[in-house]
Amino acid sequence: MKRYTYTFVTRHGKKDGRNWKWEFWPFFRQTKPAEPKVDQTIPAQFETELLRAGENASAMIARHWKKMDETLKPRYCQTRNRLKNVIQDCKKESSEAKAAMAEYEAAEKKFQEMSVPALDSRWRIFWLVLIGIAEFPLNGLVFSIFGAGQVETYIMASAMCLMIPIAAHFFGQSLCQEHKTGVDKGFLIILPLVILGALAVIAILRAKFFEAMKSQKLIGVTLTPEQATVLFIIINVALFFVAIIVSYEGSHPNHPLYNTLRKRLKESLKRFRKESKEAKQAARELDRVEHIYHRERQLREKSYERFLQEAHIHKESTEWLVSAYRRENIVARRGDIPECFKTTPAPVEIPIQLQHLDWECGELRDGAL
């Protein structure tokens, strides 16, 4: 199309329309038939040449677009398929997060409908542990007096430190229950007997071990064996009852149901946090993939529009040159208009590759996204 300029075409139109031509030597006009003939119905030869050149230029543009789209369309389809999968994942995670939230709200509502223990469970554990720690130096001193080694003393003292708070915990919890099971009743009977029996055995053994001694010092105070035994029992029993009170105040009257609802609340909260986190991650991934998808779609669409526009420019240029050729040809004739000029010139067809932008991607249907 480069050589088919407006000047070239108009000159060619004048030349074809004249019924004469210049001879090179000597310079004079020589008659010739005008082109096209007046009664000619088929398009003029030069007009056909112009139209063919325009169609060839459009076909070349279409080939360039097809080659570029061999890269653009697979990239677009890949991101489109990825977006479809991410949308499904996002819907799934969002649905699971909503279900987890509903479950958490239901568990929270049921848990809040129950009365709360007077003492928070964390404070209950704190005080029971503190009582157990307080038991250690007292029992350690007692067992060291028996003449046991350091390791044995620590083991026996630690056993007492664990046994008394744990026994007090189960006793206080069983005592607090509105509807006591057989296990609760068993704890209420057995645990005090076990603790008091253990303290009594330790005290008797200690008294027997030192029955030959008139008195002994306990933390800087001189006591008889009987006084030391009574003091040992009173302190341990007092700590045992304090631990019972702590456990009682920190227990719920319906401990099995309360414990079940609390576990359900914790598990539902954990699941809700997990599903919410996954839903947020899925939403962020959706935003990212959507951005890539729209970028790839826009890149392909803009590239197509650029090639299509270029094809239209060649089409309009060719049709404009054909009309210029006809006009100058008719002016040069100064006579009858050829029959082929009385009809509209054949339009330059846009190649089929540029007539429609195909957005189909295999299993996906256009408009699915």
Closest CA to 229 of 218, 242, 244: 218
* Cβ atoms < 10 Å from Cβ of 215: 13
Identify the pLDDT of residue 142: 58
DSSP 239-278: HHHHHHHHHHHTS-TTHHHHHHHHHHHHHHHHHHHHHHHH
Is residue 128 within 8 Å of residue 172, measured between CB atoms? Answer: no
- H-state helical runs in the chain: 6-17, 45-113, 121-145, 150-176, 182-209, 225-249, 255-333, 352-355
Closest CA to 269 of 137, 149, 106, 153: 106
- The pLDDT-based confidence of 123 (bands split at 50, 70, 90) is confident
The least confident of 43-52, 119-128, 269-278 is: 119-128
Residues in CB range of 221: below 8 A, 6 or more apart: none
Per-range mean pLDDT, top range of 45-49, 136-140, 184-188, 227-231: 45-49
Q: What would the mean pLDDT of 285-309 be, rounded to a whole number?
A: 94
Which is more confidently placed, 103 or 30?
Answer: 103
pLDDT at 24 over 90: no
pLDDT at 166 over 60: yes
pTM: 0.60
In tens, the pLDDT along 184-240 reads 777 777 777 777 777 777 666 666 555 544 444 444 555 555 666 666 677 777 777
- Chain center to CA of 349: 49
Which is more confidently placed, 119 or 39?
Answer: 39
In tens, the pLDDT along 59-73 reads 999 999 999 999 999
Identify the H or E element spanning 22.
strand 20-22
CA-to-CA dists, residue 312 to 19, 185, 209, 274, 343, angstroms: 35, 96, 116, 56, 22
Share of the chain above pLDDT 90, in %: 31
pLDDT at 95 over 80: yes
Q: What would the mean pLDDT of 327-332 be, rounded to a whole number?
A: 91
